[in-house]
Structure formats: C-alpha cells, structure tokens
Amino acid sequence: MLTVLQIISYIFSIVTGAFAFLTMVSKGFRAKVFQRKTEVEDRRETDRCILRTLIKNTYYRYRNQCEIDQIEYENTEKLYKQYKKLGGNSFVDKIWDEMQDWTINP
C-alpha cells in the first residue's frame, strides 16, 4: 500500500514531467510560429519597398511636365492602393497628393 508521501511524490513527478514535456513541445511550436511571422513581416516590408520605388520612379519621371499618361496614372493608382494596404508611410502620400494636380493625358 502506498503512503501519502509516495502518492504526493508520484503526483509531483507526473505534473513536473507533463510540464517539462509541454515546455519542450511548445518551445518548438513557438519558434516555428514566430519565425513564420517574421518571414511574413519581412515579405511585407519588401513589398512596401518595391511599391514605394515604383511609385517614386513614376513620380520623378513625370514631375517636370506635371502631366502623365492615363495608363501610367491608373497603374500608379493601383500601386498606391496596394502600398497603403500594406501600411505604407506618408512620404508616398505626399507624392500621390501632388500627382492629383497633374494633367492626365488620354
């Protein structure tokens, strides 16, 4: 027959072992989740940089004339909307606002 101390010892061993097992499993799981989240954030930052560069290039190509072809304007508008969805900053907002005053050629 088991004594009270033996029962407490068994319960403590089971709880400690379960805790150690869960810690090991969850550590690997957390590492995968956080690594994936970091990869997604890195990808979003890369996408923002590419979109910002494309918008800036269009802006600097047409800014002296203050006029832009309709197709180029529509393309830039799509880029701008995607850039804002990804959390783009106000620098591109200023460029886009200035482009709104340009003449759009058909």
pLDDT digits over 8-36, tens only?
A: 888 888 888 877 777 777 766 666 666 66
The more confident residue out of 2 and 39 is 39
CA dist list (Å): 68 to 4, 13, 74, 80: 86, 74, 10, 15
Domain total of the chain:
1
- Which residue range forms the structural domain that includes residue 16? 4-105
Angle CA 57–78–94, to nearest 5:
55
pLDDT in tens, 57-81: 999 999 999 999 999 999 999 999 9
The more confident residue out of 96 and 22 is 96
Q: How confident is the model at residue 97 (pLDDT cuts 50, 70, 90)?
A: very high
Average pLDDT along the chain:
86
